[in-house]
Structure 1
Amino acid sequence: MVTSEVLPAIIKRGAYIAEEKLREINALLEERVASLESKAEYYDTIINSRKLITVSEIAYEYGIPAVNFNQLLFRLGIQFRVDNTWYLTEEYAGNDYVRTDKRRYFDYRSNTYKSYIHTRWTQKGVEFLYRLLGSIGIHPIRNDTDINIIQFS
């Protein structure tokens, strides 16, 4: 048995493991892979979603007003403010974390149309915030397993 089974197994695998034990390990690994495949598919669907999220929706998940959430992101060096618009700092701009568009509204006081920049977060940006804030101990309070605002489009 030693020369016919054990030594060839050591040469082939670097260790002797009985065939039955290898089958058990393989079955466990296959279960784990199946579990991770479904999670990867879910993650890909979320990240590729086109749904945009307002800072108010994100702040709600963390249990704080949007104004405070924006200030937190400012203090962390993620964004800065010009006039009434928040922009990502150079380090984070260009990573597809936010989308901006120009919106018009009618100002009844001046009787004219005005415009403003509206910024919303992408799913990739929401995930970035979730991971970054989580790394410093700040977690959503509305749902402790995932962010509620992530939805399929």
Structure 2
Amino acid sequence: MNELQNFDFEGNEVRTVLINGEPYFVGKDVATAIGYQNTRKAIKDHVKTKYMREERIVTPSGTQTMTVISEPGIYQLAGQSKLPTADPFQDWIYEEVLPSIRKHGAYLTDEKIEEALLNPDTIISLATQLKNEREGRLIAEQQVKEFQPKVSYYDKVLSNDALMTISLIAKDYGMSGAGMNKLLHELGVQYRQGGTWLLYAKYQRTGWTHSETKMVPRKDGTEKAVLNTKWTQKGRLGLYELLKTNGYLPLIEMKDESAV
């Protein structure tokens, strides 16, 4: 069983616990402190599974099973939020809570200090733990740097639920619609049939596009059926992931990188 240590952020209780020497935070407390209304959904949507776990924890009212998240999980949960408390909360965790937990340079209780004085192997173990903590911090900080640009583009996309032409998506990347169509063909996303670009079978059931048949007047007064294809916001995000994997970033992220 693990016992909780309590902190206070602007009147919100944030409970922490050490699990195998690593600090974890009660997920509900973190989400509430950031300002999420639906805490369970926020954790599920924004925190990767590897950064959360269910843990049996001793509380004043008895032993309870709680969802707890690690330090990188906090950065993910706060990084996805536009709420005004998100940034101050991250600063508070980084500048006050973690240093308080690590005030001895490692996770040392009074009992652990006494053990270290009596057993040299304990000192070696703590030194190794501290090294791992520092490496973990560097990894977590890098993840935040990589994650933030993605959040800004995701926010831009998710704030708009309209269908889009390929030309509008192409503008995100500083490209023309024709250039983007050609690139997507080279990447195996679509092929041209007549005057229409169609998705290859691999992408046909992804929900990336929405097609409509429109009747277009001919010069002779008759009409012809023309397939009009537009991209959904899901498709826009799908292209974002695909293009990023192949080295193409939207202009908004290129600006962020140049400013680093």
Same fold judged by TM-score > 0.5? yes
By how many angstroms is 1:136 displaced?
A: 1.2
By how many angstroms is 1:111 displaced?
A: 1.8
What is aligned with 2:167? 56
CA 1:14–1:126: 2 relative to 1, 3 Å: closer
What is aligned with 1:67? 178
CA 1:138–1:145: 2 relative to 1, 3 Å: closer
Q: Say yes or no: does 1:80 pair with 2:191.
A: yes
By how many angstroms is 1:139 displaced?
A: 1.4
Q: Say yes or no: does 1:98 pair with 2:141.
A: no
By how many angstroms is 1:32 displaced?
A: 3.7
Gaps of at least 5 residues in structure 2 are 1-17, 31-69, 83-150, 256-260
Alignment of 1:6-85 (within 5 A): 13-15=19-21, 26=25, 29=71, 32=75, 34-36=77-79, 38=81, 50-85=161-196
In 2, the alpha carbon distance for the partners of 1:86 and 1:94 equals 16
Structure 1 runs (4+) greater than 3 angstroms displaced: 12-15, 25-34, 46-50
By how many angstroms is 1:35 displaced?
A: 1.1
1:51-107 alpha-carbon deviations (Å, 9 max, x no partner): 111001011222222112111111111001111111110111111010000111212
Q: Say yes or no: does 1:135 pair with 2:245.
A: yes
What is aligned with 1:120? 230
CA 1:112–1:81: 2 relative to 1, 3 Å: same
Q: Is the 8 A contact 1:49 1:123 kept in 2?
A: yes
Greater relative contact order (CA < 8 Å, ≥ 6 in sequence):
1
What is aligned with 2:253? 144
Normalised by the length of structure 1, the TM-score is 0.66
By how many angstroms is 1:34 displaced?
A: 5.0
Q: Give percent identity, aligned residues only.
A: 29
Q: Is the 8 A contact 1:48 1:123 kept in 2?
A: no
Instruction: Report the structure, 1 or 2, having the larger strand content.
Output: 2
The residue identity in structure 1 corresponding to 2:235 is G
Instruction: Report the structure, 1 or 2, having the larger helix content.
Output: 2
1:21-73 alpha-carbon deviations (Å, 9 max, x no partner): x6xx7479596465156379xx69x5596411100101122222211211111
Gaps of at least 5 residues in structure 1 are 1-11, 147-153
Normalised by the length of structure 2, the TM-score is 0.41
